[in-house]
Amino acid sequence: MTENKNIFKSGFITVIGKPNVGKSTIINSLVGEKVAITSPKPQTTRSNLRAVITEPDYQMIFIDTPGIHTPKNKLGEFMVTAASSTFNEVDVIIMVCDATDRSLSKTDEKIIEKLKEIKNKPVFLVINKTDAVKKELLLNKIAEYSELYNFKEIIPISALKREGVELLRDIILGCLKEGPQYFPANITADTTMRTIVSEIIREKILLNTNDEVPHGTGIEIIQYKEPKKADGVTTIEANIYCEKATHKGIIIGKNGEKLKKIGTSARRDIERICGSQVNLKLWVKVKDDWRNSPGMLKELGFQ
């Protein structure tokens, strides 16, 4: 008699939507740890990040994409292209919208028009931030989206409070087919330490500066040197590029206090990830209109 073996399922899931709807927070909640940077500001995510969940009988690879918006520079064009390029490369598509939005946006309508071109692929709508709205408004939003597109299912959740997150994971698992384990079980994000460090630094800038500054900053890791001894110190040096001298002054702050706060906060997060003490040095430099410079974009990893 042949022994039955458990079927291992795997698949890629893209998470799309306009900026600031909570895509990164949802992925962090699903994975159970912080793999994507978050902030209250829109357009936090700039490139696709693959986050991995591995269990004995399945592996899910989530692609956290930049918010889809009308681009105003070459960096914005890269971000929108990065998000849209995932549609045909994945097994499941999740569109995220914000329960607190009063009405359907033009961006949401454009995303739905793109989704109508997708064939033979499950597309779900996740309505996030449900903890912030009344049930009646939520039901109206479900009805509004249902009229525009035949989603396989509409799932209301609150990623911040982890309400509905496990249900979302179970629903996705039901769509996955038998497949290989693409990544080792101990991997939760498919990226390099240099990228992780640059994203952590950028997150701290997002959290510690006003609305005008963060979107004009880019991070270049110019040195990442791991210690030779187990109890040694990891040395990291990075340039923070901004587009205006006034922005440089804001990031540095009075007597360098703002930059010190950014660096200290970033260093603590980096130490938790790399498991060693970190010596982090940051420099702030002005590069006019760098977001429209192909050379600078390539240098900073936006290709």
Its domain, for residue 235, covers 193-299
Domain boundary among 152, 178, 204: 178
Within a domain: 1: no
210 and 133 belong to one structural domain: no
Give the residue-averaged pLDDT of 50-62.
91
101: Cα separation from own chain's centroid: 20
Q: What is the pTM of this model?
A: 0.67
- CA distances for 158 relative to 71, 127, 130, 134, 162, angstroms: 28, 8, 5, 13, 6
Looking at residue 242, its amino acid is C
- CA distances for 7 relative to 4, 186, 228, angstroms: 9, 20, 43
CATH number at residue 275: 3.30.300.20
Q: State yes or no: pLDDT of 2 exceeds 50.
A: no
pLDDT for 252-302, tens place per residue? 999 999 999 999 999 998 888 778 899 999 999 988 876 776 666 666 655
Domain boundary among 148, 178, 208: 178
CATH number at residue 74: 3.40.50.300
Within a domain: 2: no
